[in-house]
Amino acid sequence: MSATWIGTRLCLILGFAASALSHGTEPGEQEVLARLAESETNILFWSQADRRIGFRHIAELLPSRLIELGDSPSMLRDAPINLSAVRYQVEGQDYALSDYLDDPGHVGLIVVRGDDVLFEHYSDGNDRESLWISFSVAKSVTSMLIGAAIKDGFIQSIDDPVVDYLPHLQGAGYARASIRDVLRMASGVRWNEDYTDPASDVARAGGANGVTLLNYLAKLPAEHEPGATFNYNTGESNLVGQLLRAAIGNNAATYLSHKIWRPFGMEHAAYWSLDEVGGGELGGCCINASLRDYARLGQFAMRDGVLPSGERVLSEGWMNESIEPSEGYEGYGYLWWLYDDGSYAARGIFGQLIQVYPDDDLVIATHGNAGAATGTGYRIHQGALVPAIRAYLGER
């Protein structure tokens, strides 16, 4: 999920001056941000209180590239529905929506059907203007940008070998892997994604990029046939970002702005974190965006990458192909999680979520600050609440 690099680089970021600290922060927040900027603590181990401030101001803590806003944002319509009667169950116990909203892990929840905002709730200082770090939600955005690059002719085929675009990996474990394989996290290359193990690959290279990433991945052996075995791999999603930038000859934030952010009518400018000042975006992590624009990303995916003008951005049928179950794991597509109820989702650690229900024209998105990166009760409750909201709306 591209987290370790954040903690080890915070103290190295230049330009974290009073002007940055004073932008959109209260005095107490400035103190926290200054402390985080001087700390080498891994972001996985920030306190929940520090994350509530730090996650909202990541672009002030880390090198980031602006995702520019267009001139004509599309405004979602406020059409509130009372969801207080929504109930869900966890381990046989009954809960209400209010229980989820009262959880310290909750930061923001939005429910959008069509262009109508049916429900929107924020906590602890966040509001509809707040940007929040996406973590692995960015993987699904990178996947869509691959679809745009195919439409634009920068990538000829999803079955092209990775080494055609990244010759640095010739002769390595990725020598036989295709773009399709890495989008499905099924390259066959060995990778350890254990967030609790400081010696794991994700701890050592989850935030690597550029030549550093390629050098690391080039040393990893192939353990399985490409395409056959699913192995969740943040390094591999950063590799997809590297491949995207190599194919388009541009940076990913500018491409995202020109292909999706501006023409689709996002409401707020956003940022994409970089591996270093002037470096490349992490394909697997860290777009920092408002909750309403999280939801718009879900709408863009649900509409198969077609703009309100009718112009197609993604290659035709790209999203349908992206959410086809893979050979290695039926619950995963091209960097999207797939569910038995026909929905699909972009998910990130600490509770970030964009869940798309195409049959219902429904998107449910969250900003989260769960007690830990993974494996928390908050995430379990979220997994039960979201389909319960869908079911409740389906009855009305």
What does the pLDDT look like over 82-100, one tens digit per residue?
999 999 999 999 999 999 9
For the cut 80, the answer to whether the pLDDT of residue 12 exceeds it is no
In the chain, where does the domain assigned CATH 3.40.710.10 lie?
63-154+249-396
Percent helix, strand and coil across the chain, each to the nearest 5:
40, 15, 45
Report pLDDT digits (tens) over 59-72.
Answer: 999 999 999 999 88
For the cut 70, the answer to whether the pLDDT of residue 244 exceeds it is yes
Q: What CA–CA distances, in Å, run from 100 to 12, 124, 201, 384?
A: 37, 14, 33, 10
Q: Catalogue the E-assigned strands of 80-180.
A: 87-90, 93-96, 106-113, 116-122, 132-133
For the cut 70, the answer to whether the pLDDT of residue 2 exceeds it is no
Q: What CA–CA distances, in Å, run from 160 to 109, 154, 246, 333?
A: 39, 12, 14, 17
pLDDT score, position 6: 44
End-to-end CA distance of the chain: 38
**Whether 41 contacts 7, CB under 8 Å:** yes
In the chain, where does the domain assigned CATH 1.20.58.710 lie?
162-244
Q: What are phi and psi of 69, to 5 degrees?
A: -90, 145
Q: What CA–CA distances, in Å, run from 138 to 126, 227, 285?
A: 21, 22, 5
Judging by beta carbons within 10 Å of its beta carbon (0-12, 13-18, 19+), is residue 17 exposed, middle or buried? exposed
pLDDT score, position 40: 82
Report pLDDT digits (tens) over 336-355.
Answer: 999 999 999 999 999 999 99
Q: Which residue in the block uniquely carries the two structure tokens 């969740």?
A: 232
Report pLDDT digits (tens) over 179-198.
Answer: 999 999 999 999 999 877 88
Report pLDDT digits (tens) over 25-65.
Answer: 666 899 999 999 888 887 878 999 999 999 999 999 999 99
> Which CATH code, of 2.60.120.10, 1.20.58.710, 1.25.40.10, 3.10.310.50, is assigned to 162-244?
1.20.58.710
Q: How confident is the model at residue 124 (pLDDT cuts 50, 70, 90)?
A: confident
Provide CATH code, domain 63-154+249-396.
Answer: 3.40.710.10
Q: What is the pLDDT averaged over residues 15-19?
A: 32
Query: How are beta strands 116-122 and 132-133 bridged, if at all?
Result: unpaired
For the cut 60, the answer to whether the pLDDT of residue 218 exceeds it is yes
What torsion, rounded to 10 degrees, do the Cα atoms 174, 7, 261, 389 define?
A: 100
Task: Name the helix (H) or strand (E) containing 125.
Answer: none
